Amino acid sequence: MSTQLEKQACPVVRGGSFLIEDHAPADIFTPEDFTEEHKMIAQTAEDFVFQEVVPHEPELEKKNWVLLVDLLRKAASLGLTSMDIPEEYGGLALDKVSSILVSEKIAASASFATTHGGHAGIGTLPIVYFGNEAQKAKYLPRLATAELPAAYCLTEPGSGSDALAAKTKAVLNAEGTHYVLNGEKMWITNAGFADLFVVFAKIDGDKFTGFIVERGFPGVSVAPEEHKMGLQSSSTCAVRLNDAMVPVENVLGEIGKGHKIAFDILNIGRFKLGASSCGGAKYALRSATQYAKERKQFGVPIASFGLIQQKLAEIAIRTFAAESMVYRTAGMIDTLLGTIDKSNSTAVLQSIEEYAVECSTIKVWNSEMIDYVVDEEVQIYGGNGDSRDYPAEKHYRDARINRIFEGTNEINRLLISGMLLKRAMKNDIPLMPAVMKLMGEVMSLPQLEEESDGLLAAELKACANAKKVALLVAGAAAQTFRDKVKDEQEVLALASNIIMQAYAMESSVLRALKLAEDGGDRAEVAAEMARVFVYDSVPQVDAWARAALAATLEGDDLRTMLAALRRFTKQTPVNTVALRRKIAARVIATERYPLS
């Protein structure tokens, strides 16, 4: 298979630039641009999960790790664990769209998706991007085949979100041959069966550093399985290091630079988790729709009830927004990667890191989206939704951890607005000039506006206005709090909510417009979903902005900003009831996400 799948060429754009730039539908990558190879990879992953994994889930929930490792190796034989590994080490070196597609499709089994991500993602990628040649040659071929199942060990009992507060210590022995590690890592996915651990410890108590640790090294042990709410057929244990002997050649990356490994790999993990959430939402929608057609009340299927149709349509709409963001971002990453030497690991990481704002956005928005989806799935199942004899209960339990995985959503909310403001201060993106230009617009007399014309013209304008609101809030916070803005967590989180929603809105509308060029039923339902999503987003944006501005300004300054906000969030009523009925009709007819 080729190392770079041919797909639509999109222009290179800077990370976070969506907030200050307008992009055309042709500028973004969407699922409609998948190549035949992409579709083949997606089908392979989906077939594997439904044929090999799902039938074995009852046995896997009994903690049969021998079976789980066997399934992981079967996935490896299909190339599903080696997409991101260079060819010279036994990998496929595929584009990020392919890698993300696998993450999405494997989500049909949330537990196996967690196992797969723990191995092929955060367990393997540290060595791909930070390993030296000897480490890559020794470990990557065996990771590609899953001969060595992998795990990523960052979290500790006393340091969850504050990873750099880790207390695990590493001290060089007298002979200078080994580092002696002491400490404990918590909530480690795959720990029950992993043979290779990427572990973080502080050399001499202060130099935060990565290590490649084999299960068989002296002093390495694994605690019993945790009793979790969900993901029952994935392994989660503590890893204990008691005078663990790690050869000096197993130091990963530079001494004292472990934070670079930790944060860069988490960034990729967030993106893949967002893709998995999108895939999980599609499967939950299928389950809910099938049940709604089968379940009868008052002599008719509950799928015929307006309020059930409203739920099915809303699940489809939010999934559409999530999917549009995921593949827009994957396309941007691949476009930038196409301009560099991909044998240069540092350049590859910098290209992915460029879109850290988008990756955190997708992690937060999609993980909260799937929580909404599975909650409504349980509601559609009614009393049976609370029964373990039906799938909705399992979907509900499995989804909740996503808001905690890969950095809590609270931390990621602070990162989104914080990273944008930091880039603005460094002039990486011209955010502050855009804010100043907007302030000039705010202070000027309102101009008589012409009615928008054309398909989704009003929605495009709403997207542009949502971005203005984000700039309004971020600019006010930066000017009021200055270098103490990082301490205003509630305001930063509200700003991030607006930024995320603006990205979701614009990604949805641009995709719908792109689909409209080809016409047909898919284009029609995409436009309907985009219209409803944008219309319902505007009041949310308005509420978040009001709360943020009230916490930031007072007096005439506040009144001026609120007046501007009213200009940016006014809209003409849309019959969303009728639109949701049309969307639901398509979902019910096909029993699946309407753009599948």
What are the CA-CA distances from residue 233 to residues 93, 115, 367, 378 (Å)? 29, 9, 20, 21
Catalytic residue at 61? no
User: Strand 251-252 relative to strand 207-214: parallel, antiparallel, unpaired?
Assistant: antiparallel
Q: How far apart are CA 582 and CA 589, in angstroms?
A: 11
CB neighbour class for 490 (10 Å; exposed up to 12, middle 13-18, buried from 19)? exposed
Least Cα distance to 420 among 405, 435, 407, 410 occurs for 435
Distance of alpha carbon 156 from alpha carbon 574, whole angstroms: 50
* Rounded distance between C-alpha atoms, residue 88 and residue 570, angstroms: 56
> Under a CB-based contact definition with an 8 Å cutoff, are residues 367 and 277 in contact?
yes
Nearest Cα to Cα of residue 187 among 228, 233, 232: 228
Percent composition of the chain: helix, strand, coil (DSSP 3-state, to 5): 60, 10, 30
- DSSP per-residue letters across 513-559: HHHHTT-SHHHHHHHHHHHHHHHHHHHHHHHHHHHHHHTT--HHHHH
Contact 401, 407 (CB under 8 A): no
State the DSSP code for 159.
B
Residues comprising the chain, all counted: 596
- Three-state DSSP class for residue 197: strand
* Cα distances (angstroms) measured from residue 430 to each of 18, 260, 423, 426: 12, 26, 9, 9
Whole-angstrom Cα distance, residue 320 to residue 326? Answer: 10
Q: How far apart are CA 1 and CA 419, in angstroms?
A: 37
- What are the residues facing 202 on neighbouring strands? 169, 208
Q: Pick the catalytic residue from 406, 459, 488, 528.
A: 406
CA neighbor of 460 nearest in space, from 387, 382, 538, 408: 538
With vertex at residue 298, the alpha carbon angle to CA 296 and CA 299, rounded to the nearest 5 degrees, is 60
Nearest CA to 507 out of 37, 8, 121, 19 is that of 19
Catalytic residues: 406
